[in-house]
Structure 1
Amino acid sequence: MEQTIFTGSKLINGNDIYYEFYPHDQPKDTVLLIHGFLSSSFSFRRLIPLLRREYNVISIDLPPFGKSGKSLNFTYSYENLAKSVIEFLRIMGFEKVHLIGHSMGGQISLNILHLYPSMVNKAILLCSSGYLQRSKRHLLLSSRIPFFHIYVKYHLARSGVLNNLKKVVHDQKMIDDEMILGYTSPFLEDDIFKALTRMIRDREGDLTAEKLNSIETPCLLIWGEHDRVVPLNVGKRLNKDLKNSDLIVFKDTGHLVPEERPEDTTKYIREFIAE
């Protein structure tokens, strides 16, 4: 029997947030998936079919990524993104969820735990960003130069989607045309580069160790041993600063854990939620 999928968008804080909702007939819990930088809900394509067997699953595209809005009047700070996610949940009628955040999505999840702990049961952080500082002053000033978004576009095009994928996965044989197209599609219009320029200015640094220490929500950290984007030592440091956390490390795995190890990731998520 084909399962139901609802897709749409909600206007939150002046920007559209695209979502995919996979309801379960008899859900044990609801999980919210938050993707990483330069990504979208596409990055959870292998994880969602496994999670939806047991849970309500919601996946969102964080503005300005994927199919979400790219308004230049929106504040693209972690704090405002976290507030927008919470407002989205309230509008959708969800009082409490489990968060699953990958890379930058992990940092957004941590901001939610810091600002709105009552909205979250547990959090699963997949190769979460951590301890990054705000952009350097010269970059912040440069981002105000007219047409700076063209430089952003050129910089990303120069590195290329294929090269970026080779950096984020350990086994490069898994990269195929579908994967390349899925990660390329959101960047075919210029609007996103203008919004990314705004994000350079708005993004504050990651949560400090002091703020991380104040988080009491149970957290499961899942890392790839060969993560070259957010190295394992960041995971070990987060494990130390988050007083109610555990760390799982996958061997022969890179940064893109939801794509590389969906079955193993789902297994640990289920065990953690059931505890």
Structure 2
Amino acid sequence: MRPEIAVLDIQGQYRVYTEFYRADAAEKTIILVNGSMATTASFAQTVKNLHPQFNVVAYDQPYAGKSKIHNRHEKPLTKDTEGQILLELIDQFAAEHVLSFSWGGAATLVALSHRPRRIEKAVISSFSPVINEPMRDYLERGSHYLGSRDGDRVGHLVNSTIGKHLPSLFKRFNYRHVSNLAEHEYGQMHFHINDVLSSDRQCYLRAAEKIDIPVLFMNGEWDEYTCADGARVFGNHVKHSSFSTLQATGHFLDMEHKSACQDSRNALLGFLKPQRHESRPRYHYVQEHHALAL
């Protein structure tokens, strides 16, 4: 399964590395939106879960992965800029679906609030508008380590918190990647975290209120950082919202163990292609509709 690779020009300002997994029989295309400090490699299992039922697009943010050598990194990117980049990619690839992971949910909410005409459904995984005590502790320590560009401590922090349920092999890969980022990448992550800590949490909810397509919020039962209860706050703001809590898994969902991978696949296909997929009863899936904001 080899992707078609391209580096795309976005409004003459950014160059974005993309991987397009074409499936001749697929009727729809889905774009995957990375979390902080992640690259297209992080979506390896997700691509397998979705292809060949869909054409799948993965990309690196301008500051990360195989995009970073093509960009100048003169200033950090805001979530609004990342949202605009996503909107451009939706048009470039004529995508009907979007799936985000973790911090990628912020850019995805921004993009969806513009109501891109092609998008039919979206999945936002491992994301919550609530900063609870575990998340605040993680963010505050992360801000301190990133501010001093201490890659070693950042790597250990990720593995001992949001990554604590990952297999040991993935933890080693995670540490090697996170502890050896470029200077501007640590600066970008520091900017992201400080923005989350200082911004009005209502910004995510205001964006959510403008979304008029079905959105699935997917979280792990063991994820105490972006917990399922927190994600359900979106249910009061996204008119066509549904929720899936994957049992016995944490923040990284399909990467943590085989059953979680299968349950993640079932939840995705059950939402995106419900007429063709019969899901197993391992995860808790609830369809809810809300027309009124809090």
Q: TM-score interval w.r.t. the shorter chain?
A: 0.7 to 0.9
Alpha-carbon separation, structure 1, partners of 2:176 and 2:219: 25
Q: Aligned pair 1:264/2:256, yes or no?
A: no
**Distance change in 2, residues 1:27/1:205 (3 Å):** farther
Q: Aligned pair 1:180/2:172, yes or no?
A: yes
- Do the aligned residues in 2 keep the contact of 1:221 with 1:235 (CA within 8 Å)? yes
The aligned residue for residue 159 of structure 2 is: 165
- Do the aligned residues in 2 keep the contact of 1:103 with 1:126 (CA within 8 Å)? yes
The aligned residue for residue 18 of structure 2 is: 19
Aligned counterpart in structure 2 of residue 255 of structure 1, from 244, 248, 251: 251
Alpha-carbon separation, structure 1, partners of 2:175 and 2:27: 31
- Do the aligned residues in 1 keep the contact of 2:86 with 2:108 (CA within 8 Å)? no
- Do the aligned residues in 1 keep the contact of 2:155 with 2:174 (CA within 8 Å)? no
Give % identity. 21
- Do the aligned residues in 1 keep the contact of 2:31 with 2:98 (CA within 8 Å)? yes
Alpha-carbon separation, structure 2, partners of 1:229 and 1:201: 17
RMSD, aligned α-carbons: 3.0
The aligned residue for residue 5 of structure 1 is: 3
Deviation at 1:59, TM superposition (A): 0.7
TM-score (structure 1 length as normaliser): 0.80
What runs of 5+ residues in structure 2 fail to find an aligned partner?
A: 132-142, 275-294
Question: What letter corresponds to residue 55 of structure 2 in structure 1?
Answer: N
**Distance change in 2, residues 1:122/1:106 (3 Å):** same
Deviation at 1:250, TM superposition (A): 1.4
Question: What letter corresponds to residue 73 of structure 2 in structure 1?
Answer: L
- Number of aligned pairs? 255
Deviation at 1:30, TM superposition (A): 0.6
- Do the aligned residues in 1 keep the contact of 2:105 with 2:127 (CA within 8 Å)? yes
The aligned residue for residue 84 of structure 2 is: 83
Alpha-carbon separation, structure 2, partners of 1:32 and 1:165: 27
- Do the aligned residues in 2 keep the contact of 1:15 with 1:74 (CA within 8 Å)? no
- Do the aligned residues in 1 keep the contact of 2:16 with 2:59 (CA within 8 Å)? yes
Q: Aligned pair 1:235/2:237, yes or no?
A: no
Deviations 1:159-182 (A, max 9, x none): 424x4124224644x121x55335
Alpha-carbon separation, structure 1, partners of 2:251 and 2:193: 22
Deviations 1:170-222 (A, max 9, x none): 644x121x553356336343332344455567776553434322311101111
Matches within 5 A, 1:52-63: 52-63=51-62
- Do the aligned residues in 2 keep the contact of 1:6 with 1:22 (CA within 8 Å)? yes
- Do the aligned residues in 2 keep the contact of 1:97 with 1:120 (CA within 8 Å)? yes
Q: Secondary structure at the match of 2:2?
A: coil
**Distance change in 2, residues 1:270/1:243 (3 Å):** same
**Distance change in 2, residues 1:7/1:149 (3 Å):** farther
Question: What letter corresponds to residue 8 of structure 1 in structure 2?
Answer: A
- Do the aligned residues in 2 keep the contact of 1:224 with 1:252 (CA within 8 Å)? yes
Alpha-carbon separation, structure 2, partners of 1:129 and 1:62: 21
Alpha-carbon separation, structure 2, partners of 1:32 and 1:263: 20
Alpha-carbon separation, structure 2, partners of 1:8 and 1:245: 34
Matches within 5 A, 1:77-226: 77-90=78-91, 92=92, 94-131=93-130, 151-154=147-150, 156-161=151-156, 163-169=157-163, 171-172=165-166, 174-176=167-169, 180-181=172-173, 184-185=176-177, 187-197=180-190, 199=192, 207-226=203-222
Alpha-carbon separation, structure 1, partners of 2:120 and 2:175: 30
Deviation at 1:77, TM superposition (A): 1.0
Q: Secondary structure at the match of 1:223?
A: strand
Alpha-carbon separation, structure 2, partners of 1:83 and 1:183: 30
